[in-house]
Amino acid sequence: MTKHSIFDTQALEAFRKEHKLQPYRIRQIYKEIFHNFVIDFKEMTALSKDLRNKLEESFEIISLEVEDVIEDDETSKFLFKTADGNVMESVLMYHFHTEQRTLEKKLNRITLCISSQVGCNVGCIFCVTWKMGLKKNLTREEILSQVVYANNYVKNKYGKKVDNTWYSIRNVVFMGMGEPMLNYPAVKKVCWFLTDTNYFGLSRKRVTISTSWVLPPLKQFLADDLPVSLAFSLHSADQKLREELVPTIAKYYTIEKLFAALDEYTDKTGNKIFYEYVMIKDKNDSRELAHTCGKLLQGRPAHLNLIPYNQNPAIDLEESTEARIKKFKDVVESYGVPVTVRQNMGRKAKSACGQLGYEKVQGKIIQKPCVDPNCDCKKC
């Protein structure tokens, strides 16, 4: 029998009526999953054993299989396998702070970077994920499963805080694999679950959609007024250079057209937009381009995030120097635009920005030499 997802609210309500359960039972199930971070019906001890068994027969909480976990001291990268055999990734990022009095390093907050697609076809030349190609759009259940599993992982890793509540994800960002606007129907449903107080209950400031931007879904996004923050992948304020950096869509969705839509968004919502800018040595990090960027964002409700380029396999690009990034930042700030230089996390685990899919792509590019000295396979 095919199991329903626990996120199928209609199926869950039908289950409740069929088994003559009181509505509060559904609330108990939700509390176990979304507040106690339980991902196994057997562990829901607030429910009777009979009800747990029936739920197990009819529903699944996680719609993904964990293929691997790769960790460093800053991140945990999950390689998830979908039911149809595709592999995609999510990344937990741990933000620490040092207490001034004791100099003790303590966990401050946790961010989860989730994927909306397996692979990507936007083609940003500095990102390894596009080399995978686009395999599929993820379903609502597959996207939400990343969040449910990650909260359970954090619970097991860190336990409870001093206030006796579980450590959990504070921020969710659509900055993993894929272009969220090319899977907008599913992303829209996910955002509803993430912000609804009956489920994850995150505030709109804690959920961010990061997009290189495709205009048709933007119109629907504006009409829907989703309770989320918006990040736009700019990477260059010069149209010709942006076409080089994002070749598949930049020439169709020009900076002029995009900013007309982005201005409509800020006029309608009053929300600030975060602009993402990957700093690539001798490519988009010049003083002249900094002035172009500053002029473009001047007077707009904008915050510019400068992201040092992360090394990728088989991509012949280099990270800007700290001095070059500092000069770029100073120039843009001279136009009254707030700028942050992003802290790169997860480079050791290849879970940093632009590195997702590293293992898959590396496997295609770097082939193990044949051990047979007489081999004529042309690969040695």
CA distances from 343 to 11, 274, 327, 352 (A): 43, 15, 17, 10
> What residues pair up with 113 in beta bridges, in sequence order?
91, 173
The answer to whether 333 touches 323, Cβ cutoff 8 Å, is no
89 annotated active-site = yes
Q: How many helices (H) and strands (E) are present in the chain, helices listed first?
A: 11, 14
Give the residue from 175, 168, 188, 231 showing the smallest Cα distance to 35: 168
One-character DSSP codes across 71-98: E-SSEEEEEEE-TTS-EEEEEEEEEEEE
Give the residue from 61, 4, 70 showing the smallest Cα distance to 33: 61
Give the residue from 110, 79, 260, 116 showing the smallest Cα distance to 172: 110
| Rounded Cα distance, 111 and 16, in Å | 34
377 annotated active-site = no
Of these residues, 32, 60, 74, 89, which one is catalytic? 89
CA 266 to chain CA centroid, Å, is: 22
One-character DSSP codes across 302-346: EEEEEEEPPP-TT----BPPHHHHHHHHHHHHTTT--EEEPPP--
DSSP state of 280: B
Q: Is 380 helix (H, G, I), strand (E, B) or coil?
A: coil
44 is written with which tokens?
Answer: 């829901």
Q: List active site positions.
A: 89, 353
